[in-house]
Structure formats: C-alpha cells, structure tokens
Amino acid sequence: MSINLIYKSILEAIIENINAGIHVVDHNSKTIFYNKFMSELEGLDIKEVMGKSILEIFPFLTEETSTVLTVLKTKKPIYLKNQTYLNTYGKQINTINSTIPFKISPTKYGALEIAKDITKEKELLKKLEILQQELASTDTNKKQIKGYTFKCIIGEDDGFLDTISFAKAASKSSSTVFIYGETGTGKELFAQSIHNESDRQNKPFIAQNCAALPETLLEGILFGTTKGSFTGAINRPGLFEQADGGTLLLDEINSMGLPLQAKLLRVLQEGFIRRLGGLTDIPCNVRIIATTNEEPMKAIKRNALRKDLYYRLNVINIRIPPLRNRKKDIPLLAEHFIKKYNIGLQKDVWDLSKEVQNSFLQYDWPGNVRELENIIESAMNMIDNEHILKPKHFSTKIKDLIIKSDEIEDINISLTEENTLDNVLNNIEKELIIKSLDESSFNITKAAKKLGIKRQSLQHKIKKHKIERK
C-alpha cells in the first residue's frame, strides 16, 4: 500500500471516530468531508451535505457570519469560537469551533471546521451556577449552626441512651463519623448535635444530600470550580472550602457515584482538595459526617458504597435504632411533640387518648420519629377547644389501626369440605399468634399477654402450628 493510501485510511479512521464534528470544504466552499459526529450534532444527513456549498446548506448564514466563509476569504484560522444555534430538530446546540485554512493548490485554499459539542457542559454549568447562587444567597445551611443540640434528642430507651452517649463522646474528637439509621430516625439531628458540641461549633456546619444532585454537579459543588474547568465556569469555592474548620455532612453517601467516592477517599487521605480544573492543592480541615439509611454492608454488596471509603469514614460508627425497636420512647416523643405544637399552633392539648396510645404502640412506624411528629402535628391541626387527641383527630391511616386494634375484622369465610370450621379456626389462631409474636419481637411472655393466654399454652400452640422465628 502506498504511503498516501495509508495516510488516507488513517485520516478516515480518525475523522470517523473522533469525538468532534468535522466539516471540510474546498475553495468553493463545497463540502468534501462531513463526519457522522457533525451530522448528529447538526441534525443533517451526510448525503444532503456532501458536494453542497456552505450557503446552500445553511441559507441563513452570510459571508460575514459564517466562520468557514470568513476563513476561506482571509486564509487565517479562527480558534475556539463559541457558537450557539438551533439544529434542524430545533434543539439548542452549543459548540466550540476552530476553523483552519489548508492549501489545495498554490493559490487555492479550503477550510476545515472542527466542532466540539459542549451542550451538556453548558447545561450543567447553568444548573451549577443556580445552585451555587442559592447556596451563597440563602445561606440556609450555615444558619443551621445554631440548630439542634443533644438537648433536643428525646429518648429513654437503654440502647438509644447508649447511642447518645457514644455520639457525645464522638463530638470530642475530629474523626470522621458514619451514621446509619432508617429514614426519620434523627441522623441529621445527631450530626448537628455532634457539631454543636464539638470545638468546631463556631465554624460552619454544611449539609449536602448526595442523592439530590447528578454526579458532575455534586463534584463541582463539593470541590469548587475554576475558570475554564468547563466553558463559562468561574472560580468558586466548593463546600469543602466553605466548611473550612467546621463540619460537612454528606447525607445519603451511598447515592454518590463510585468515581466521586474514590475522589472523596483521596481527599480524606491526603487532606487536600483541588477545584475542578484547578492545579493547586488546597488544604482542607473539615470534619466529615456521612450518613446512609441503608445498612452499609448491604450498600457495599450492591456496589453502591465503596468498601475502602466506608472503612475510612467509619472511624466512629453510630447506629440509630428504628422507633419500632424502642417503643418505650413513643409516649415521651409524643409528649414532646404535643408541647412543641401547643406552642406552634397555639393549642392546649394535654395528652393522647388511651386508644390512640395503644395504637401508637402497635404501629411499626416505617417513617420513624419524623412520621410520629407529622401524625401528631396533623392531628393537632384538627383539634379545637379539646384537650385530648382522640381517634377522630387522626388521619385514616392511624384511624384504621385504632379500629383494628379494638375490633376483630368482619369475617367473610365460607366453609367447604376442606375448609372445615376446625381448619378455619386453626388458621385464624395461627395468624393471630404469628402477629403477636412479630409485634413483641418473639418475646413469648409479651406475646402471651397480648393474646390473653398463659405462656405455656402459647408455647404449646407454637409447637402445634410449627411456627418458627423468622
């Protein structure tokens, strides 16, 4: 193969595979090359463009506005020019173009235009700017500094009290903290309390939910941007710099993409950050508190959390138990929220009725303390000139529960040859036993009490129905 043919095929391979649009015209501005990338960018068919002049393809251009025509005339290159236009599908496209003249014969010049698509970067940049402005103008995160302290954490369950003591001890150090707890268990409450009890209390506390932003934006928000890191980006500090000397809460860290997790790990190990596109290492002194509402080992298994990052973050490990495992705290929390909303809503509520109290103890609170607070707030909006919160003040969900705990549901069963009375009764008995065991975490004494039968009798029935602990 001649050297020219080799060059030709190399060139063709580059033109077809390069991540940029390429449009080449001869001295008459007629297209002699138009690659697939450019065709997708501009929404034009390669066949429609080949052999046609620039003004035939883009009739809205003039000799002055077309970079290709300008270069053909001046024979001088135009580098890195920003262009914004609507393609044939009406989508706004942002590109950076370079247009370069090349010699065809001693007197004739053609032009080569290379376009880099920066539409996505532009869109991201816009979002990033809005977010950064919001952050700078409202400054809400920083205002939370004076938010929660350990005094705000209500609970008397032994396990929960241990968690509080452990968190208090954690506030005396600067090590990273990993908090795991289901939604609404108080992770943010603990994180703020740790900050406010630490010697960083007069420095910023900034919280960032990692699930709230797409990866590229989150990276810019956390580490900051430099001018030119992508088109139009300006020098802006990220949260690491803004939280300097203070605490940065990274909520739902398991929603952060793995590449960014790797970057975060590097920052934690080295103690320096680098703004996006920046060249300087900026030392950072920020205490990190990370949270998940998913069991961390599960998150690692499903590849949502890097194991190495987890172990780096998990210097101090706090697990907040779900409300259903510390039902002892429910009356106390209910009292606390009643007091809070007596003030907020100007009511004079004294207590929950017995039925409501019982149903609260039976309910398993998937939304934990937040759900309890919301349910009480909503009921207190319904009460007028009364002092006790009764079933009628609650929404359907909790009302259903109250009714279920007071009455046996209507039975709608027809007996058949196999479905004898004995079978049906046996099944009902088995279901009620399983339910009580479930609700009392398989504590036989408690379950027997609930069912109103003796412990021994329950044990006998468990054997009879072959019920096993899940």
Ligand X SMILES: Nc1ncnc2c1ncn2[C@@H]1O[C@H](COP(=O)(O)OP(=O)(O)OP(=O)(O)O)[C@@H](O)[C@H]1O
Q: Is 182 in the site for Mg ion (CB under 5 A)?
A: no
Question: By CB under 6 A, what part of segment 335-374 binds ligand X?
Answer: 369-370, 373
Burial 146-182 (b: 16+ CB within 10 A, else e): ebbbbeebbbebeebeebbeebeebbeebebbbbbbb
Contacts for 340 with CB less than 8 Å, ≥ 6 apart: none
Q: Is 195 in the site for ligand X (CB under 6 A)?
A: no
Point out which span in 14-22, 184-192, 235-243, 346-354 binds ligand X (CB under 6 A).
184-192
Q: Is the dihedral of CA 169, 188, 395, 349 positive or negative?
A: positive
The answer to whether 286 touches 176, Cβ cutoff 8 Å, is: no
Q: Is 155 in the site for ligand X (CB under 6 A)?
A: yes
Binding string, residues 293-332; x marks residues near ligand X by CB under 6 A: x---------------------------------------
**For residues 159 and 228, which CB has a smaller minimum distance to ligand X in the complex?**
159
DSSP 28-63: TSBEEEE-HHHHHHHT--HHHHTT-BHHHH-TT--T
Query: In terms of Cα–Cα distance, which of 174, 118, 114, 180 is closest to 317?
Result: 180
Q: How far is the CB of 168 from Mg ion (least distance, A)?
A: 20
Q: How far is the CB of 299 from Mg ion (least distance, A)?
A: 16
**For residues 116 and 187, which CB has a smaller minimum distance to Mg ion in the complex?**
187
Q: Is 21 in the site for ligand X (CB under 6 A)?
A: no
Point out which span in 79-87, 105-113, 166-174, 179-187 binds ligand X (CB under 6 A).
179-187
Q: Is 188 in the site for Mg ion (CB under 5 A)?
A: yes
Q: Measure the CA–CA gap between 306 and 288, rounded to whole angstroms.
A: 16
Binding string, residues 59-98; x marks residues near Mg ion by CB under 5 A: ----------------------------------------
Q: Is 167 in the site for ligand X (CB under 6 A)?
A: no
Q: Measure the CA–CA gap between 95 and 80, rounded to whole angstroms.
A: 9
Q: What is the DSSP letter of 108?
A: -
Contacts for 370 with CB less than 8 Å, ≥ 6 apart: 183, 184
The CA-based dihedral angle spanning residues 453, 455, 456, 460, taken in that order and rounded to the nearest 10 degrees? 70
Contacts for 112 with CB less than 8 Å, ≥ 6 apart: 22, 23, 24, 33, 99, 100, 101, 102
Instruction: Select from ligand X, Mg ion, none the partner in contact with residue 217, using the beta carbon and a kind-dependent cut-off of 5 to 8 Å.
Output: none
**For residues 187 and 203, which CB has a smaller minimum distance to Mg ion in the complex?**
187
**For residues 187 and 336, which CB has a smaller minimum distance to Mg ion in the complex?**
187
Query: In terms of Cα–Cα distance, which of 56, 54, 165 is closest to 111?
Result: 54
Of the candidate residues 21, 110, 186, 246, the single one contacting ligand X (CB under 6 A): 186
Q: How far is the CB of 186 from Mg ion (least distance, A)?
A: 8
**For residues 318 and 437, which CB has a smaller minimum distance to ligand X in the complex?**
318
Q: Is 153 in the site for ligand X (CB under 6 A)?
A: yes
Q: Measure the CA–CA gap between 219 and 229, rounded to whole angstroms.
A: 12
- Name the residues that contact Mg ion, by CB under 5 A: 187-188
* Residues in contact with ligand X by the rule CB under 6 A: 152-155, 181, 183-189, 293, 369-370, 373
